[in-house]
Copies of this chain bind each other. A is one copy, B any other.
Amino acid sequence: MEISYSILPKLFCYKYATILTMDIHGLKVFASVFKNKSFTKAAEEIHLSQPTISDHIKALEEELDCKLFDRLGRTVIPTKEAEALYSLAEEIIEKATNVKDIIGQLKKELKGELTIGASTIPGTYLMPSLMAAFQKKYPSVSFQIFISDSKEIAEKVLKHELLLGVIGMKLSNEQIHHIPFIEDELIAVASPHSIKTSIMTLRDFIKFPMVLREEGSGTRRELERILENRGITLEDVKIAGIFGSTDAVKQAVKAGLGTSILSEYAVIDELKHNILKEIKLSDIQMGRKFYFITHKKRTLPFLYNTFLQHIKAIKTDSKNI
């Protein structure tokens, strides 16, 4: 393997050292002369002057070092070499003509895989239904959702490992483009058995031991921000446990390990079935936003842009309802 590695650059060098004057335009001129058996007719067809055609053929003849046409006064007759060149030239011209079409089509193509990095809440509770709706509209689209915490998603977007992310916080990085997505309400929850009161102040609530997400989490960060606004730090809070997933936190709260403050999307089912109990905080509203994030320097494939427009449309629709 090491040998082939060291030889490779030389091969490239060789390949590019070969001066290839031949261009597609010249081949088109040749093909036209070949088909018309006339320089003048080719000139009319390609809308160039006859001397220009002569020039092109001369250049090709010099480059290939062989006569391509026998000029016999009224007609020209292609040589054996010209016959061979014609089929090759047609292939090249066709391929080159296709390029524009293929790229043009690609620019409008609504199929392929949409890879999105998502933090826990959007990845687990929001993306699935979005994916379903989008895929219904564009059946040839498949999704790959990479779930991690907000910090890692942001890093991957910055390192160009991901083109698109959804996270629960706004970043200060100038390179990141934020597209507001959806509002989320953070809700204080406890086990139904552990706390009887269903309304209290934030300061009262944090007297109970709490179960939290780990540090990179958007939910955790949002919580810290809210407490900080009230002059409270996490050091004032009695932490009963830290878990790496929202589900684990929910299990811990259910088991009575402590209270928590979680996304409404994460606990909507548990509240409905009385597995968890909402503690209304009388003095605070804990809203936060989710954002789609992209790197400002990256060009998004059409499919990704369409997806983002779809999201924007949904947002507008739901606002109007």
Give the B-binding residues of A (Cβ under 8 A): 12-13, 15-18, 20, 22-25, 28, 32, 35, 45-47, 63-67, 70-72, 77, 79-81, 84-85, 88-89, 91-92, 95-100, 102-104, 106-107, 160, 297-299, 301
Contacts and interface: CB of A to CB of B under 8 A. Distances in A.
Given A23-B24, A65-B104, A70-B298, 17 more contacts: A12-B45, A16-B45, A20-B25, A20-B96, A20-B97, A22-B99, A22-B100, A64-B100, A72-B298, A79-B299, A81-B107, A84-B102, A84-B106, A85-B99, A88-B98, A91-B95, A92-B95
A45 B13 contact: yes
Contact of A160 (B63, B77, B80): B77
Identical copies in the complex? 2
B70 A299 contact: yes
B45 A77 contact: no
Given A88-B99, A91-B95, A72 B25 contact: no
Contacts of A23: 23-25
Contacts of A25: 20, 23
Contacts of A299: 67, 70, 79
A104 B84 CA distance: 11
10 contacts: A16-B45, A20-B25, A20-B28, A22-B96, A22-B99, A24-B24, A80-B301, A81-B107, A91-B95, A95-B95
Contacts of A15: 97
A85 to B, nearest CB: 6
Contact of A84 (B16, B89, B103, B298): B103
Contacts of A100: 20, 22, 63-64
A210 to B, nearest CB: 42
Given A77-B298, A88-B98, A301-B79, A72 B20 contact: no
B46 A16 contact: yes
A95 B107 CA distance: 26
Nearest to A106: B84
A287 to B, nearest CB: 35
A10 to B, nearest CB: 11
A21 to B, nearest CB: 8
Contact of A297 (B12, B71, B81): B71
A66 B28 CA distance: 25
